[in-house]
Amino acid sequence: MARVCYRLLGWRQDIEDVVQDVFLVALRGLPDFRGDSRIETWLTRVAVNTCRSHLRRRALWLRVRAVLRCERQESAASPAEHDLARHERVGQVQRALRRLPARDREVLVLRYLEGLPVAELAAVLEVSHNAVEVRLSRARKRLKSELLGALDR
């Protein structure tokens, strides 16, 4: 749950508090769990909703500095330089994800970073399979736009 919350919220300071909130909400809501889905799916849904509430309550939006242009190194570059370039690209993607609206970030994190299948993602987000596909498509376009914009800065 900490990994899901971290990826959805994108910062470390409050993760332990949010994860604790997730489990408190889950514990309180356990009597209402109907068993229509796997417990993991239900708990992930609780985490997503708790993160949404946390974002609304705190109105915390990260301000990101300009992303340094990451130029690809020639094949003659040292392995350390390749690792540094890869680390910078990963950082660019993380920053671009944080700049996306929560709704887009959620669907991308759960699908590509957490590896949830679309059917389970639909259950977690309580939307139809088609709605997940549409959200994924739109979120990928927005992420691409963010990444291209970051390279232009």
Average pLDDT over residues 9-31: 85
CATH number of residue 66's parent domain: 1.10.10.10
What would the 3-class secondary structure string for 46-94 be? HHHHHHHHHHHHHCCCCCCCCCCCCCCCCCCCCHHHHHHHHHHHHHHHH
pLDDT in tens, 91-131: 788 888 888 898 998 898 888 888 888 888 888 888 999 99
| Tally of structural domains, the chain | 1
Higher-confidence position of 152 and 120: 120
87-96 residues labelled b (16+ CB within 10 A) or e (exposed):
eeeeebbebb
Mean confidence (pLDDT) of the chain: 78
Q: Which domain holds residue 72?
A: 2-152
pLDDT at 78: 56
Average pLDDT over residues 82-93: 72
Q: CA 131 to CA 48: how far, in whole Å?
A: 17
Query: Percent of the chain, pLDDT > 70?
Result: 76
Query: Percent of the chain, pLDDT > 90?
Result: 20
pLDDT band for 70, please (50, 70, 90 cuts). very low
